[in-house]
Each structure stands twice: as C-alpha cells, then as structure tokens.
Amino acid sequence: MRTADRGEGAVSYIAVILLIAGIAAAVTLSGVGDTVAGGIEAGICKVAGRTGCAEPAAHEGQQPNPPSQQEWGNRNTDPDKPPPKPTDAETRKGKEAADKVRKYLDSDCAWYQFFGCDKPQSPKDVLSGMSPGEINALFAELSDDEIRRLLKEDGVVGVLKVRADASLLHHLERVAPKSIDPDFTDVRDHGKKPSNPATDYGTVPNGQLFGTTGEPSLTDINQGGIGDCWWLASMGALSQTPAGREQIKNMIRQNPNGTYTVTFPDGEKVTVTPYFPIDKNGSLSYASPAGQPPVVWPLVLEKALAAKRGSYGKLVSGDGGDGMKILTGKSGESKNPKNVSQEQLQKWLDSGAGVTLLTPDSDKVGGKPIYEGPSSRLHADHVYVVKGITKDGKVELYNPWGYDHATITMEEFHKYFEDVDMNPIK
C-alpha cells in the first residue's frame, strides 16, 4: 500500500470514530437511553482497538431481580406501615450510592467516551445491587430535584418497583407524579358511571391477592367510577372457568416488597404498587375489593393494564372480546346475538369458554322499557358476563358493577343486544 493510501485510511478511520462518537453523545443526551448508547459505545471501543471493551447492556425489557429473602429479611410488606430505619451500614452504603448517582447525573462523559473516558456506573446498575434499607438511605440523601432526575434514567423505576419498600415508592410518586403509578387525571365520563372521582393513591388495608380461597371468583368483580366494564367483565368471564382462573393466577406474581408483577400473554411484564386510585374521602375510585379480607386481584389487573397502556383514561370503552384476548392471548369469536342459538351459547359455556354480551349505545335504546323507566333491567353501552343458562332456558347475566344483575329470555338476548363475544381461554 502507498503511504498516501495509509494516510487517507487513517483520516477516514478517525472521521468514522468521530461520527460514531457524535451519534453516541446525541443518543445519550436525547434520553433514548443507556441500552442504545451502550451498544454504540461498545462498538467505538472495538473500532478504536481498545481491549476489555464492555458488552452492550441487556435489553431494557428484561425484568430486574427482586431482593432475595436474605436481603428482604423480616421487613414488613404492609404499605401502611413504615419500613425500619436504615442501619449504620445501610446508611454508609446509601451515601456511597448517592455519590455515584450524582456523579452519573452530572457527567458529560458521553462526549469523549472514545478517548478513554470511564463513564460512571449507571443508576440502574447501582440500585440493582442495593438492599431495600440501602435504597431508603440513598433517597434520604437526595434532593427532590435529584430524585426527579434520577427517576427519568433508564431502568431505575423498574428496579425500584421490585426492590424498594412500597412506602418509599409512594413517596417517590408524590415527589415525581406519574413516575411510579399510571396517570388517572385523563379519565373521562362514560355511560352511567360518574365522572372521574380519583384524587390520589391509597392502600387497601389487609388486602389479599385472592382471599382465603386462593382462587379468583366472579363475585370479586366490582367496577368503580370508570367506564371499563369491558375489562372487568372480561376478568369475570375468565374467573368462571377452571382454565380461566388458572390463567389469572399465573399472570400475577406478588413480589417480596408487596408490589405485583403482571405478565401478559404477549410477554410484556408490568409491575404495579399496592396503591390504587382513591377519591377525596379516601374511598377507592375504580375497581373495588369484595369480601373480607378484601380481594385485590381485579384492582391489580386494572392498574396493570392502565400502566401498560399509559394511563387509566385509556381503559375507558372497549368490548369483551378485546379484553379476553388481552388476558388469554387467544382470538375468539364475535357474533351478532341474533345469529347465536341457545344450543350454541350452551356449547360455548360447556366447553369452558368465556362469554360476554354488549348492549347498544344509549342513542339506540330510547323508548325501550327494558332500558328505561321503572321496569328497566339493562344498561346501555355496557358489557355483561354470561354466567349460564337456567333450566327454563333463560340467560343469567353478571353486571360487573357487582349488583343490578339480570336474567333474560333468549328472545331478549336476540333483540336487545349488539354483540356477543366468546374466547376459548385454553
């Protein structure tokens, strides 16, 4: 090779490195995250001929590990009770971690990473190696502004949701609203449910995931002040069958710190805290627990889908077919009730399928006594669970409100409903 060629190659080589470094800096500063930027930086390291280059970080979708039993110790999981005060050793670790977090937040190392700058340890990695007590000590060292900046960093909230005390998570939500819990301020009016009553997040004292029986039940379904009857009815439809109950139980895992990780059939995992929307009087605003002790699995699934979609407002309006598909990962059938016979309906129920029934919009039911007046038995634009068929051929419906249920004839089934959805579940 000629000398001139070698010179041109060196110039091109440096230009490529500068270009990639610029891209890495832009990616980091844009907030895209460590996962992408880390991969670019690892590539720069190898192109530059350096040894010991770090491999790109794991994909952000991977779930952080909850604390081990040894790390959690005898800490209380009751969100209404404060955690123990950090020990001296935990306080020292917390202060060390706070220094690392500040170093990272104040670092502009990405601009010259390829020259050999050692980027500070990411907050996600710092937190992943800390015990709950150490995490409490860390946040005691940080200002509210530092907390808000920290919670925006990749993977931080995910680690905290499985490793931090629930009471700390509630405090962080107050410092940085919508960082830990899904937004509820966008809930709009829908049907006969009242306008959005939620003002804050609160706990369910003595709440249990599945109650004393350890099984989901249709009577656990009690819709609150949000128009998500389609989602609650879908849960209710699954809870009626052995396969559906097993599906619900397999979806929800309670973590050592009292949070819940919900695994949807599409593979997405969503972790939610044991705090749920409440109104100004402290009562639950949306799905409400039934029985004693209070059963909270419907509240957990309602909150998990709100988190998955981005807010509680995005739960308003839907149909049972969509809801059951979200829960099972399987497609079902949607038919006009006029085209479903009693024999077909019974066959679906006998097979262990979930079945829901949708009424028409309010502008389509005017003047019909079954919807209006003192003898009304149905509600417009509402999804019911089909419980079964009586011996005299009537269809029993469960209202996800938890009351005002209905029993209808097959003639009424064909005449007054808009859509019937079936999901095979298994």
- pLDDT digit string, tens, across residues 257-293: 999 999 999 999 999 999 999 999 999 999 999 888 9
Percent of the chain with pLDDT over 70: 81
84 C-beta neighbours (distance < 10 Å), count: 15
- Domains for the chain: give ranges and CATH numbers: 88-175 (no CATH), 200-323 (no CATH), 325-424 (3.90.70.10)
Give residue 194's pLDDT: 57
Report residue 263 as tokens. Answer: 């695994």
Task: Indicate which residues carry an active-site annotation.
Answer: 229, 382, 399
9 bridge partner residues: none
CA distances from 277 to 81, 126, 193, 313 (A): 19, 31, 16, 12
Three-state SS for 311? strand
What distance in Å separates the CA atoms of residue 403 and residue 390, rounded to the nearest whole number?
19
> Is-contact 381 191, C-beta < 8 A?
yes
Q: Is the pTM of this model over 0.75?
A: yes
What pLDDT shows up at residue 195? 64
Tens-place pLDDT, residues 142-190: 999 999 999 999 999 999 999 999 999 999 999 999 999 999 999 977 6
The confidence score (pLDDT) of residue 27 equals 46
In tens, the pLDDT along 329-388 reads 999 999 999 999 999 999 999 999 999 999 999 888 887 889 987 878 999 999 999 999
Lowest mean pLDDT among 53-67, 121-135, 289-303, 310-324: 53-67
Q: What is the 3-state secondary structure (H, E, C) of 109-135?
A: HHHHHHHCCCCCCCHHHHHHCCCHHHH
> Which residues contact residue 336 at a Cβ distance below 8 angstroms, ignoring those fewer than 6 apart?
418, 419, 420
How far apart are the C-alpha atoms of 268 and 227, rounded to whole Å? 24
Which tens digits make up the pLDDT trace of 77-96? 889 898 999 999 999 999 99
- How far does Cα 376 stand from its chain's mean position? 37
Residues 420 and 233: their CA atoms lie apart, in Å, by 12
